[in-house]
Amino acid sequence: MSMNIMGVPAFLIGGEKVVGFDSVKIENLLDYTVEKCPKCQTRVRVPKGKGKIKITCKECSEEYIINTKNN
C-alpha cells in the first residue's frame, strides 16, 4: 500500500495516517499497552479501558492485577 510519503517514517493505524515518529500519538491510537511482569519482567500486551484485570504471566505463572488505562 503506497501512502505517497517519502523520507520520513509513516504508520497507518486504524485507518489514520501518522507521519513522523510521534510516539504519544501512536500510543494513543493503539488499543493496548505493554506492561512487565513484576516477578520476571516478561512483557505482556494489556488491553486499554478494561478496568482492573488479573494477569497470569505465561513464563513464571505470577498472578497480578493491572488497572488498565483509558487514554
User: Hey, is 26 helix, strand or coil?
Assistant: helix
| Distance, CA of 40 to CA of 58 (rounded, Å) | 10
User: Hey, is 27 helix, strand or coil?
Assistant: helix
| 14 against 67, higher pLDDT | 67
Tell me the pLDDT tens digit for each residue of 9-48. 777 766 677 777 767 776 776 788 888 999 999 998 888 8
Instruction: Using the predicted structure, report yes or no on whether residue 64 has a pLDDT greater than 60.
Output: yes
Q: Kindly indicate the confidence band of residue 6, based on its pLDDT and cuts at 50, 70 and 90.
A: low
Instruction: Give the three cell numbers for residue 7.
Output: 523520507
Q: Kindly indicate the confidence band of residue 71, based on its pLDDT and cuts at 50, 70 and 90.
A: very low
